[in-house]
Structures are given as C-alpha cells and as structure tokens.
Chain A
Amino acid sequence: MQARSEQDARIMVITGNAAAAYGAMLCRPDVVATYPITPQTEVIEKLFEFAASGELDAEMVPVEGENSAMNVVTAASMAGGRVFTATSSWGLAFMYDAMLAASGTRAPVVMVNVNRETPGIIAVSSGQQDMISTRDSGWIQLVAEDCQEILDQVLMAYRLAEDHDIQVPVMVNYDGFYLSYLAGKVEVPSKKRVSDFLAVLNEQPKRQILLPGQPLGCGTHGILQGFVELRYKHVQAMERAKAAFDAIDQEFASQFGRGYGGQIEEYRTGDADIVLVASGSMCGTIKTVVDRKREQGLPVGLVRLRMYRPFPSEKLTQVLKDRKAVGVVDRSVGFGIQGGPIYSEVCSLSAKFGGASVLSFIDGLANTDVTSDHVEQMLDLLSAAARGEPCPQVTWVCMEE
C-alpha cells in the first residue's frame, strides 16, 4: 500500500497546484505551454521551477494567451509530442476554439483546469461553471477530490488520452482555492514508477503524426460522410473511455496502492435509501456528514462523480437503482434548465434507475462553502422526499444561509 522505499516515492506536503505540476513533470512531457491565471498560476510556476532545476526536460513555451497555449500543445501533439498545459475559467473560455481543434483532430492533450467561476460577474472564486461550459467540446473531463488525487489523475489522464483506442484529450478538474492552495499530504512517486505505469503506451500501435517529408493532411475538410464518420468515431472513443478509465484506475491501484473506483466512487452506498451525487472537494465534507448520519442510523451514502465526460450513465443507473431519494449537488448553474447541469443529466437516467425522487441542490457557487450544515440540510430534505413529502425540486442551498 505505502511507499516501498525512498526510491519509490516521497511523502510531501504540497498544494493541489503543486500536485498537478508534479504529476505533469513525472510524465515527462515534451512540450509545455503556459499562461498565468488565478488560481492556476502556481502550476506553471512550479513547472518552470522544475525546468530550471533540470527535473523537467521539456520545451517550455510561455505563450501570450491561453488560446495559444492550447494551439501550441495541440500542434506539438500532432507532431508526436507528449504535451501539457494548465488553465482556469476565463482562460478555458479563451481557448475554446482551440479545444475543439484538439479534440476534433484527436490530439491526446492533457490539461488541468482549476475550477473557477466564469466571466461576467467577476468572481475570483471557486465553481465548476468553467468545466460545465466546455461540456460539449469533445474532451474527456475528470474531477479530483483532493491533492493526492490530482497528481494521480494527471498520471491516469495520460494513459487515457494517449491510449490507442481512445486518443481524446483529457482535462483534469479540481476546485480552485479549495484545492489549488490547500496543502495536503501527497505521495509523489518516482519517475521510474510513473514510466513503468505509462510503459504500456509504448507497446501500442503508433499513432499517425505529422513529420517533414511525410505527406499527411491533418485538419482536412470533412465533407458529408467523411465528416460523419469522424464524428461517429470520436463519439465511440468517448464511450470506450468509460471502461478504459475503470481499468486504468484498477491498474493504478495495483501499482501505487491507491484506487478510486474508476468513473465513480461509491461511499457507503450499499444499503443506502438516500444517496447524494456530487463531485470535487465538497465530497470530503459530505463523507463526514454521511458518517455522522450513519452513526445516527440513517442509511445515507455518496456517489462521487470522478468522470464528467463521458458521463458515467451505466454506472450511475446501476448504483442509483431502487433508492428512495437521490440528491445531486451542483457547484454550477444550468441556465434555462430546471436545476443544476449534473442534476439534469442524472434526471435523464431516472426512468432507468427507478422511482426515487431526485432533488437538485445548487451549492458552493463563488466560494460559498459547502458546509456540513448545508449537507445536513440537503439530507433532511431528501429524508422528507423519501417519506413521500412534497419538496422543492431545486434548492439554492448557498443562497439560503
């Protein structure tokens, strides 16, 4: 379970941002494009530290904007490189067209996105609205819960993105402020162990890359059936990513002693009548409240979403089957739809998972803490719903304080 020796891993107390940077450095990227934005900046500072000390040997490209960051890494990936970049919120929005190009050309880019509220209302604060806004970009989107998982997910992201059967860019999300600047205990594996974990990629068939003297059209016009075929293949690859992520997670567990459950983590769901579905750092608080409620004899549990795209529909359907009440906590809003974005997707499965009431909780917007009181309040409402009492479909928990 734990580190075998100093050579295998170092135990450090580092921030979520540093964990992301260590994760990237350990995977030995060829090209790293960087642009600062709060609360991500520490990631790129750390990477430049690594480059300065020689720990990281990569082409460092300090670009003039996030749009270029995504373009640089996409093209470098087309030229055969392993690549990394990091962003947040406005930066993610600014690179949106390039994100579409990355996924459309099936460039296996890996990026961390440090979740922060999006522009308009200037909020230098946490929220998943940025991730939600890029839902249909054709990227695989993962969400981490703590500093250790950030590092681990970056390693797994490369396995997923560069897998011959997947070849889709991967975004690793974690809550800005809550995790970006939170220092926690992190086991940092050695480069050797990480390259062992990634070694299977070298045995796979080589992907096609753009090289001088080798005629190849990348980003050609997709006309009619040509376009349809490529879209279909992309969608199928996203579907394959679900089982692939489960398998990678299991393999990760056997090599590093830490497994997370793949697409979703189930926490005390076995006999639970009431289940909360949530993602990100708030899950730590929710787990504490679940434990407390269990002590009081209330059968509650948590399903933590670790993969937002592709959406783990099958896994969720399975785990939510025949519950009495299901609550979905969104750290973002759904404009023009009733309830939060993840809630609405869980609802779309409700016909399959059976008669439970499904309630939407909007909480944690703009760094409003998802407190244990908030979680208690959600569970109280869900208990009422489970008893068949009328409950509001949507509750803005963060507004009601």
Chain B
Amino acid sequence: MTEKKKKLSKVFDYLQYDDPYAGGLTFCAGCPLESLARFVPQVLGDDIVITGTPSCSAPVLLGQNIGTWHRMPYYGTLMTGAAANATGLARMYKRKGIKNTVVCFNGDGTASDIGFGNLSGAAERNEPFIYICYDNEGYMNTGIQRSSTTPAGARTTTSPVGRMTHGKDVTSKNLPLLMAMHKVPYAATATMSYLEDLAKKLLKAKEKKEEGFCYLHVFCPCPTGWGVPTDGSLDLCRMAVKTNFFPLWEAENGEIRFTREVNKPKPIGEYTKLIKKFEHLDEQGVARLQKDVDFNHSILMRLSGSCEQGGRHD
C-alpha cells in the first residue's frame, strides 16, 4: 500500500466498514443515490440486512437470477409492504437474539405514497429497524412521475407543463415531519452534501433502533429527472438546505432540534433557477413555493422551540 497523499476529510472516520458493492457499478450519471447506497453500509456495519422495493435502487440492490453486485443479505420486496417486510425480518432476529441492523431502503414513492400506510403502522408499533427514504421527489425509475413529495410547481410527466397545466398543482407532503410526529425514538433529515451530519444520524439511528423505529429522510436530487448537470447534484443539496427548502433536523421521541441552523436563508428562487423542472415557474409560482417553504419551516421552528412537553408516553 502507498502512503496517503493528503489528509482525508473527517467524514472518512465514519466509514468503518468495507464498501460492499462491486467496483464499476453505477447508477445514472451524477446520481447521489449511488453515493448514499455505498455510504450507508460503510457506516452501519456488517450486521446489516437490507430490504427494498422496485425503485431506482432496485436494479443495483436486487441482483439478477443467482448473481448480485454486493455482499449484503438483501430482500427485494413489494412497494405496498416494504416496512411490513422489514418488520418481519426485525421481529424474527429479535426473537432469536440475532444482532442485526435491518435497513428498509426505499424511494419517496414507496415511503410517501403506496407504502405509507405500513410505514406509519411500523412506526406506530415502534418496530426495531431503520427506514431510509431517499427522496428524489418522484417516481424516477419509471420515468419521472409525480409523487406526494414532488414540490408544488415541479414538472414531471404526470404533472406536465402545457397550455392548461403548469407543473404540480398542489404542495408536497411533509413526510419527515409526519414520521417525527409518530413520536418514534428517532427521525431525522439528511442530505448528501453534509455527509458528517448524515453519518452521525445513521449512527444515532443504529443506537436508537434498540429502542424501536428509526426514520431517515435523505434528500437525493435526480439529475436525470430534474434536469440538472451531472456534476450539479451536491450543489443542489447545499442550496436546498441554505434556502430552508430542506432543513436538517433530528427528532427524538418527537422532540425536534435543528442540526444545522440557517441564519440568513436564501430565497427559494436561488434554488429553483438551478433546476429545469422549475424553469417554467413565473414569479407567482416561485412565490407560492416560497410560501410553502416558509410555512414548513415555521412549523419546525415552533416545534423545536417547544420541546419541553414532548415525548413518547410509553
């Protein structure tokens, strides 16, 4: 082995385990989901069992016939029942006293739409596993359709821009906040431009899952679907945080605290102008999105300021 040429970033300290994926394996060019999929097992460790659904991650995670491209135990299952499957695995390991970290790894379509019922159910029952939603704000694997986390005004193939329609006509579902309001041991938001923050949250989740359900919502732009240069996704992650479009916070038993305060948030226009899916937005459209961002943020502010009386009551 050759000497290390330069000091590595602190985030490498968190990568305590080998990358379980084969080299040369790629998702779409510039997709931060690939980095996330490689990052999670390197932080969480070798007792991981990963389960997920047909989605952007599936072609890589699922393997084909008798071949896979990684060394993790993996269960490819249904979008309707992702969290229920993770429940079955986690309960069985618990019963047998087998050390485990069950990770239910899904996109926003599964988490916020078709699999929301059983995600909520697993959270309410406080099932002992980690649910990670990578949020690329739509059904990207099937070719860019709107989901309930697609923001207002965004163009997708099922919220198109034309003479009669101007992108998505309703606001998005605030899924991470909904999950925090289940008063689960741990819920947090994270994104790929703040890796140390993400790593800390993964480790916290691994610790807290001994108490029960943990939820991580990871903002994960889709260069292909959003119309962003392939080297632009991390800039987008940063800007999403700096505009308060995607605030970074964590919640223990429903008590919310910011993990990155944004003192002077930039206007949302600074973010939308980087993305083609918003290019049709006029001033009104941008103002509408700004209003939604401000509203979501004001809820967080209020909740994080009134932690004293929170908490799970069991």
Contacts and interface: CB of A to CB of B under 8 A. Distances in A.
Interface of A: 30-31, 33, 58-59, 61-65, 67-81, 83, 97-98, 101, 210-223, 225-227
Nearest to B47: A212
Nearest to A98: B81
B92 A31 contact: yes
Nearest to A68: B84
Contacts of A101: 77-78, 81
Contacts of A30: 92, 95-96
B81 A216 contact: no
Question: 8 smallest A-B Cβ distances: which pairs?
Answer: A75-B88, A226-B65, A71-B81, A64-B121, A219-B76, A71-B84, A68-B84, A79-B92
Given A62-B125, A64-B118, A219 B77 contact: yes
Given A212-B49, A218-B75, A220-B62, A76 B120 contact: no
B14 interface: no
A215 B75 CA distance: 11
B25 interface: no
B73 to A, nearest CB: 5
Interface in B36-71: 46-49, 51, 59, 62-68, 70-71
Given A70-B81, A220-B65, 17 more contacts: A30-B92, A61-B87, A67-B80, A68-B83, A71-B77, A71-B85, A71-B87, A72-B87, A78-B89, A80-B92, A80-B96, A98-B78, A210-B75, A212-B93, A215-B71, A217-B63, A226-B65
Name the residue in B46, B63, B94 with the highest tally of chain A Cβ atoms < 10 Å from its Cβ.
Answer: B63
B99 A212 contact: yes
Interface of B: 46-49, 51, 59, 62-68, 70-78, 80-81, 83-89, 91-96, 98-101, 117-118, 120-121, 124-125
B28 to A, nearest CB: 18
Name the residue in B85, B88, B96, B121 with the highest tally of chain A Cβ atoms < 10 Å from its Cβ.
Answer: B88
B117 A59 contact: no
B61 to A, nearest CB: 9
A64 B87 CA distance: 12
Given A64-B118, A67-B81, A75 B89 contact: yes
Contact of A220 (B48, B51, B68, B72): B68
B114 to A, nearest CB: 10
Given A64-B118, A226-B66, A79 B125 contact: no
A212 B101 contact: yes
A218 B76 contact: yes
Contacts of B81: 67-68, 70-71, 97-98, 101
A189 B198 CA distance: 55
B118 A65 contact: yes
Nearest to B68: A217
Given A74-B85, A75-B77, A219-B76, A59 B92 contact: yes
A278 B86 CA distance: 41
A72 B85 contact: yes
Name the residue in B71, B73, B84, B118 with the highest tally of chain A Cβ atoms < 10 Å from its Cβ.
Answer: B84
14 contacts: A30-B95, A31-B95, A63-B84, A65-B117, A68-B81, A68-B121, A76-B89, A79-B92, A80-B92, A216-B74, A217-B66, A217-B76, A218-B75, A223-B64
Given A81-B95, A220-B65, A221-B62, A215 B84 contact: no
B87 A75 contact: yes
Given A64-B117, A67-B80, A70-B81, A217 B88 contact: no
A189 to B, nearest CB: 25
A202 to B, nearest CB: 16
A212 B73 contact: yes
Contact of B121 (A63, A74, A98): A63
B88 A67 contact: no
Contacts of B87: 61, 63, 68, 71-72, 75
B12 to A, nearest CB: 23
Nearest to A60: B91
Contact of B80 (A64, A75, A97, A223): A97
A221 B89 contact: no
Contacts of A213: 46-47, 73
B298 to A, nearest CB: 31
B91 A76 contact: yes
